[in-house]
């Protein structure tokens, strides 16, 4: 009888990348050690040269962080993953490990503010050509480029990138997707043709307002390049937040289901309210890309926005009344 494959909710709880801790504990322990001992110089050399997998120095690998990364790889449907100190550290690693002077980077015109600043102030300084495009117009992406970078659900504004359509334009280039506003519970970009996926784990993956972290997932080769970048630039995740994040992942599927249900109820209430001019939520039938959202995502998530009649003062009164 064929063994049934576990679903995402079960894997988020029970997926374990490392099982060699003393006593084989069900919960991976926090390993705060910055350095690790070896029985022989020969063993040290094998680990140092990557001939053998092992732990040498905390900024290279840490057991607690590695278990988290293995779980994230499983949830994303990836060969490998790496955890970072912040979401921006993960995004920077994904971009800088794949761009060189003279390359072209395609980005959506509506882009998370810090990512836009990174591209404008640091990526361009490398001599990389940057072209901003409409994420909703896949045909505009049909041009040669080393990297295409999009967000599953854009922050701000919420336009959706048709991941499969944009992936079909990449040729020999790479598609990197920021999946923060969806999480692997709602969308797995690697299944839609992406090469690397980035997550700000500070948000949905952790879900408890007590961790800052980021994740990159993809092929072993591409992820290994981000690991080297992380080591060389210092965006290493500490074991304690890695432990908290791993614990937060256990409720990811449940939280995303409830986020989606509650947000849809709020969005429908607001859409019917006389003082609200417009509601931006991908789960509403009135959302311009509603059909794409249904095709590309399992559910709609918890992020929405709305325009209040009466200008800034009216909007501030609404905020102050919450």
Taking only the tens place, the pLDDT of each residue in 42-85 is 999 999 998 998 998 999 999 999 999 999 999 999 999 999 99
Residue where a domain stops, chosen among 207, 234, 249: 249
User: Same domain for 268 and 241?
Assistant: no
pLDDT < 70 regions, the chain: 1-4, 16-23
CB 136 within 8 A of CB 289: yes
Residue where a domain stops, chosen among 187, 222, 249: 249
Residue where a domain stops, chosen among 222, 249, 276: 249
DSSP 209: S
pLDDT given for residue 1 in this prediction: 47
Structure tokens at 133: 């495009």
**Dihedral through CA 37, CA 42, CA 45, CA 47, nearest 10?**
-60
Residue 46 forms part of a structural domain = no
Please give the model's pTM, rounded to 2 decimal places.
0.94
Say if residue 202 is exposed, middle or buried (CB neighbours under 10 Å; 0-12, 13-18, 19+).
buried
pLDDT given for residue 112 in this prediction: 96
Structure tokens at 263: 């947000």
Residue 275 forms part of a structural domain = yes
Domain membership of residue 314 as a residue range: 252-320
* Residue 39 CB contacts under 8 Å (≥ 6 apart), including other chains: none
Q: Quick one: how many helices (H) and strands (E) in the chain?
A: 11, 9
Q: Which residues pair with 107 in a beta bridge?
A: 132
User: Same domain for 133 and 267?
Assistant: no
Determine the Cα–Cα distance for residues 70 and 107; give it in Å rounded to an integer: 29
Say if residue 319 is exposed, middle or buried (CB neighbours under 10 Å; 0-12, 13-18, 19+).
exposed
User: Same domain for 211 and 72?
Assistant: yes
pLDDT given for residue 14 in this prediction: 83
Determine the Cα–Cα distance for residues 161 and 135; give it in Å rounded to an integer: 5
Structure tokens at 55: 């732990």
Sign of CA dihedral 222, 224, 228, 233: positive
User: Same domain for 233 and 256?
Assistant: no
Residue (of 298, 299, 301, 306) closest to 322 by Cα position: 306
Displacement of CA 177 from its chain's centroid (Å) = 8
CB 263 within 8 A of CB 281: yes
Determine the Cα–Cα distance for residues 192 and 238; give it in Å rounded to an integer: 31
pLDDT given for residue 234 in this prediction: 95
User: Same domain for 14 and 161?
Assistant: yes
Residue 35 forms part of a structural domain = no
Structure tokens at 312: 């800034």
SS3 category, 191: helix
Provide the number of structural domains found in the chain. 2
> At 191, phi and psi to the nearest 5?
-75, -15
Start-to-end CA span in the chain (Å): 54
pLDDT given for residue 96 in this prediction: 99
DSSP 139: G
């Amino acid at each position: 009888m064929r063994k049934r494959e576990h679903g995402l909710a079960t894997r988020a709880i029970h997926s374990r990348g490392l099982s060699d801790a003393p006593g084989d504990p069900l919960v991976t322990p926090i390993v705060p050690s910055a350095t690790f001992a070896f029985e022989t110089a020969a063993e040290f050399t094998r680990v140092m040269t990557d001939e053998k997998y092992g732990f040498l120095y905390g900024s290279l690998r840490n057991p607690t962080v590695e278990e988290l990364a293995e779980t994230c790889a499983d949830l994303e449907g990836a060969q490998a993953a790496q955890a970072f100190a912040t979401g921006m550290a993960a995004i920077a690693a994904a971009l800088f490990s794949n761009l060189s002077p003279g390359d072209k980077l395609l980005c959506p015109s509506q882009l998370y503010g810090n990512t836009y600043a990174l591209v404008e102030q640091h990526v361009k300084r490398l001599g990389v050509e940057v072209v901003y495009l409409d994420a909703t117009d896949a045909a505009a992406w049909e041009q040669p480029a080393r990297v295409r970078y999009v967000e599953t659900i854009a922050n701000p504004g919420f336009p959706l990138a048709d991941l499969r359509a944009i992936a079909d334009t990449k040729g020999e280039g790479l598609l990197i997707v920021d999946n923060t506003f969806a999480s692997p519970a709602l969308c797995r970009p690697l299944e839609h043709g992406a090469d690397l996926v980035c997550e700000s784990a500070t948000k949905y993956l952790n879900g408890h307002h007590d961790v800052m972290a980021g994740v990159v997932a993809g092929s072993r080769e591409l992820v290994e390049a981000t690991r080297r970048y992380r080591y060389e630039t210092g965006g290493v995740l500490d074991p304690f937040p890695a432990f908290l994040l791993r614990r937060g992942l256990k409720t990811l599927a449940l939280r995303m289901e409830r986020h989606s249900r509650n947000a849809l109820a709020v969005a429908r209430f607001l859409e019917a309210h006389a003082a609200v001019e417009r509601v931006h939520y991908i789960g509403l039938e009135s959302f311009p890309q509603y059909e794409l959202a249904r095709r590309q995502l399992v559910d709609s998530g918890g992020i929405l926005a709305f325009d209040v009649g009466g200008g800034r003062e009216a909007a501030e009164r609404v905020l102050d009344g919450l």
